[in-house]
Structure 1
Amino acid sequence: MAELKKNFSLRKKAEKDEVKTEEPKKTWWVQIRLFPIWLRIIIVIALVVLAAVLGAMVGFGVIGDGEPADALKWETWQHIFDIMSGK
């Protein structure tokens, strides 16, 4: 019985030693964003607007046989809106 208690106490001591020698849990890497989310949204909106303007210029100038700079004039868009509304 004394030997059983001795083995139990040695096992308990070994478990305590194992707990102490465990490596601490690794923490996850925290990524710091280079650009904040609000700046990303503004950049995406600006790129969409730029693509729309360039698309209108290419469509009006190359496909439509007009002057690409005319796609940026308000009179051109007013004419398109008048056609769409039936005036």
Structure 2
Amino acid sequence: MEQKSLTREEYKKELSGEKQPEQKRKIRIRLIPIWLRIIMIALLIVISAAIGLVVGYSVFGDGKALDVFKKDTWVHIVDLVKKES
């Protein structure tokens, strides 16, 4: 049995025309698809991490804000961590 894709308007018209008890079941129509939600959450995590790095490095670490994205900064941090252990 094939299921027909309906727009919200078509679905509302169909329900208003036929009000049988078995058709009163609500069908959830998502505004944002699940795959897009996952991508949006991943992007928000990356943006939050970048903002956290900038704030941490510039405010708490007294460095320049955009230096946190340079490779030399991270090489220096890794060297410091490896030296201590």
Which TM-score bucket, shorter chain as reference? 0.5 to 0.7
**1:57 equivalenced with 2:57 (yes/no):** no
Please list every run of 5 or more consecutive structure 2 residues that lacks an aligned counterpart in the other structure: 1-18
Structure 1 alignment gaps of length 5 or more: 1-22
Mapping of residues 62-73 of structure 1, within 5 Å: 62-73=59-70
Question: Percent of aligned pairs with the same residue?
Answer: 42
**AA in 2 matched with 1:54:** I
Q: What residue is the counterpart of 2:11 in the other structure?
A: none
Aligned to 2:77: 80
Q: How many Å separate the matches in 2 of 1:61 and 1:33?
A: 41
| Distance of 1:82 and 1:36 partners within structure 2 | 44
The structure number with the bigger radius of gyration is 1
Equivalent of residue 43 in structure 1, options 34, 40, 44:
40
If the length of structure 2 is used for normalisation, what is the TM-score? 0.68
C-alpha RMSD of the superposition: 1.7
Question: Any runs of at least 4 consecutive aligned residues in structure 1 with deviations exceeding 6 A, and if so which?
Answer: none
